[in-house]
Structure 1
Amino acid sequence: MSQKSRPRRNFYGRLKGKSLKRSQKAYLDEDLGALSPGPVSWEVNPDRIPLDLPGLFGGKPVWLEIGFGGGEHMVHQASNNPEVGLIGAEPYINGVAMLLGKIRRAGVDNLAVHPGDARDLFDVLPENTIDRAFLLYPDPWPKARHHRRRFVTSEHLQPLAKTLKPGAIFRVATDIEDYVRQTLEEVPKHGFEWLAERPHDWRQPWDDWISTRYEQKALREGRTPHYLTFRKR
């Protein structure tokens, strides 16, 4: 296969925060390699060969979390759904280290971790293979001139839609009203239907929800969470 040219992609978020604890550095050194979903980076997979998801998870249904933050939701879902394999993408290395610590403590083994941009992961996820996707409290990019950086744009939604199976569920949680507006405008354009039938459906969290630290911060600061559920047509 001929090598594909790497697309030009700007990344605007944080890659690293305050200094990592010694234990977190150990998690990264000792655990991260074994939890890789496969050859995702352009350096080791320049031809963008698709990942072998059946080989990775033994044929289990596969869920995807985009930007898992500190990892509490991802570990919660993995613990409560051992019959499912989960892949998480997160470029913020401090969040990755936090997730690895939670994985150790929970003892779950049905996860894979991509410590990088979800767009690179989309390049190598086979089409129509993901059963469920989560986008939970994404970076709001509040300034109007930065709205094009939000996840709910064609640059992200188009490849996401390709990876999801028909009928797959896409959950979005956010406390930013304008992000809700943009989500409801943009997501249906990419082959999704919004499943809400009444206000309760977006005002109340999902039955299997665990409140994340980002949500708790939003509640302390007086912002209202919204829980949006879409299905791929």
Structure 2
Amino acid sequence: MTDTRDTDQPEWRNFYGRRHGKTLRPSQKIYLSEDLATLSPAGITREDNPDRAIIDPAAIFGDDRPVWLEVGFGGGEHLVHMAARYPDVGIVGCEPFINGVAMLLGKIRAAAVTNLAVHPGDARDLMEVLPEGSVARAFLNYPDPWPKRRHHRRRFVTAEHLGPLARVMARGAEFRVATDIPDYVRQTLREVPRAGFVLRSQGGTAWDDWISTRYEQKALREGRVPHYLSFVRS
């Protein structure tokens, strides 16, 4: 029987989690309408890059500065903090939750940082079109824990996500993970080395340039202990 499927159609990719939350404030709607398009790199979405051609990271920031990646930036406080602390680095933040994107855009305006790019979608879309070895550092801060055992395959620390991340990270690049969920630590310690990373450090002491996020503050209020892990791309 002849296969009549259209092979040019994009491969289906599952996405789990929320894309929208509470009604946005008027100011946040303004941020989205006025700022997001300017800060979103071209060539990431299938709409503006249907062939999934590799994009040049230098085109994102206009030069060949080091590129860092934050997966799921939440409210954006860590992302803006790192951008202000490292102005010579370009950081791309990925976040599909539009309320978090709106919060970040407000923080960018307030901090007046100019070395950030924002992808309001799945990080896999970005990793699919970045060149091999183009990311110098990556962050995964308080990712969705998906606590039910049957949902553990939805976590970021699975081969589906870690394989593309390992491809785009340079040799010797650092991958940081912060979480307050012991079982997430367990899965991270098992899966990240399998993807081509070497554990450098882990424990309850944060990095020198760390800023505590709203998710960490919530964890502390509820009696959960933060855990910080650093890996190096081997």
- TM-score category of the 2 structures, normalised to the smaller one: over 0.9
Per-residue deviation at 1:125? 1.1
C-alpha displacement of 1:122? 1.1
Give, in angstroms, the shift of residue 171 of structure 1: 0.1
The alpha-carbon deviation at position 213 of structure 1 amounts to: 0.1
TM-score normalised by the chain length of structure 1: 0.95
In 2, Cα distance between the equivalents of 1:88 and 1:20? Answer: 20
Q: Provide TM-score, normalisation by structure 2.
A: 0.95
Q: What secondary structure sits across from 1:179 in the alignment? A: helix
Aligned to 2:4: none
Structure 1 outlier segments of 4+, above 6 Å: none
Query: Does residue 57 of structure 2 align to residue 82 of structure 1?
Result: no
2:10 to 6, 10, 29: 6
Q: CA deviation at 1:55?
A: 2.4
Match of 2:135 in 1: 130
The count of aligned residue pairs is 227
2:70–2:139: 8 Å Cα contact kept in structure 1? yes
2:219 is equivalent to residue 215 of structure 1: no
Partner of 1:155: 160
* Residue 38 of structure 1: how far off its partner (Å): 1.6
Alignment check: 8 A CA contact 1:37 1:51 kept: no
Partner SS state of residue 203, structure 2: helix
User: CA–CA distance in 2 between the matches of 1:86 and 1:103?
Assistant: 12
d(CA) in 1 for partners of 2:121 and 2:107?
19
- Structure-1 residue corresponding to 2:23: 19
User: Aligned equivalents of 2:8 and 2:79: distance in 1?
Assistant: 32
SS of the residue corresponding to residue 26 of structure 1 reads: helix
Distance in 1, Cα, partners of 2:229 & 2:223: 19
Displacement of 1:10 after TM fit? 1.2
1:202 corresponds to: 203
Residues of 2 paired with 1:71 and 1:227: CA distance? 18
Unaligned runs of 5+ in 1: none
Pairing partner for 1:44 from 45, 48, 59? 48
Give the CA deviation at 1:87. 0.2
- 3-state SS, counterpart of residue 212 of structure 2: coil
In structure 2, the partner of 1:70 is 75
Segments of 5+ residues of structure 2 without an aligned counterpart are: 1-6
Cα distance in 1 for partners of 2:53, 2:31 equals: 28
